[in-house]
Amino acid sequence: MPKKLDPAAEAALEAAVIKAAGLPRCHAILADPAAPLTAEQQPLPAALQRRPLAEKSPAEWAYERLILYIRNFESQLDAQQEIAMGFAGNDAGVLKIEGLGFFEPDLLTFYGRDDDGKKTQLIQHVSQLSVMLRAVPKSTSEAPPTRIGFRLASGWTGGESGDASA
C-alpha cells in the first residue's frame, strides 16, 4: 500500500505534474464553501490541452479561457435567464452575447445585441480585456434560454444545454 502524502507534499506533487504537462496555473477561493465550482476549480477540458500553451497566441488563449468562464456562468443560470456582459469602467451598457471570436495575435471580438436590441460588436485587444458576465432576463418568455457557451468550442465535453435549468 503506498504511503499517504501530507497535504503540502501532495500539493507540491500536483503542481509539479501540472507544470511538467505545460498546463497553466489557476486558482480560486470563494467565501461560500458550498458555492458551485468556478472555472479555475474544474479540470481543463481535453480540447484545450491538445496544443501546448506556448503554441497559442494571446488572443486564442484568452478566447479559450473566456469560453470556460462563459460555460461555467451559464451552468448556474435558471431557465428565465441568459448571459450578457457588461463593460468594466465604461458607460456602454450591456451586450447580450451571441458570439465570440479572436483574430491572432491579439484581438478578441464579442458579437451580440445591446439593451435596445441593436446589433453590437466589440473588438478588444487582449491587453485591455476586462469583462463582467451578467445574468439578464430572457428576451422572449416562450423560447428556451439561449446558451452560447457550449457552442463556442466544438469538441468539448459537457452537457448539451450548459445550464442549470434542466
pLDDT class of 47 with cuts at 50, 70, 90: confident
pLDDT averaged over every residue in the chain? 79
**Residue ranges per domain, the chain?**
46-152
pLDDT at residue 18, as a whole number: 59
pLDDT(36) > 60? yes
End-to-end CA distance of the chain: 43
pLDDT at residue 8, as a whole number: 76
The predicted model scores a pTM of 0.70
User: In which element (H, E) is residue 62 found?
Assistant: helix 58-74
CA distances to 24, 35, 65, 87 from 92, rounded to whole Å, are 32, 31, 23, 7
Where are the strands (E) in 32-158, listed by range?
81-87, 94-103, 107-113, 119-125, 131-137
Where are the strands (E) in 3-153, listed by range?
81-87, 94-103, 107-113, 119-125, 131-137
pLDDT class of 1 with cuts at 50, 70, 90: low
pLDDT at residue 19, as a whole number: 65
pLDDT at residue 59, as a whole number: 92
Looking at the DSSP bridge assignments, the partners of residue 122 are 110
The predicted-structure confidence for 84-107, as pLDDT tens digits, reads as follows 888 666 666 788 888 888 888 899
**Percent of the chain at pLDDT exceeding 90:** 6
The predicted-structure confidence for 49-95, as pLDDT tens digits, reads as follows 888 888 889 999 899 889 888 999 999 999 999 898 886 666 667 88
User: In which element (H, E) is residue 69 found?
Assistant: helix 58-74
pLDDT(22) > 70? no
- Does residue 108 contact residue 62 with C-beta atoms inside 8 Å? yes
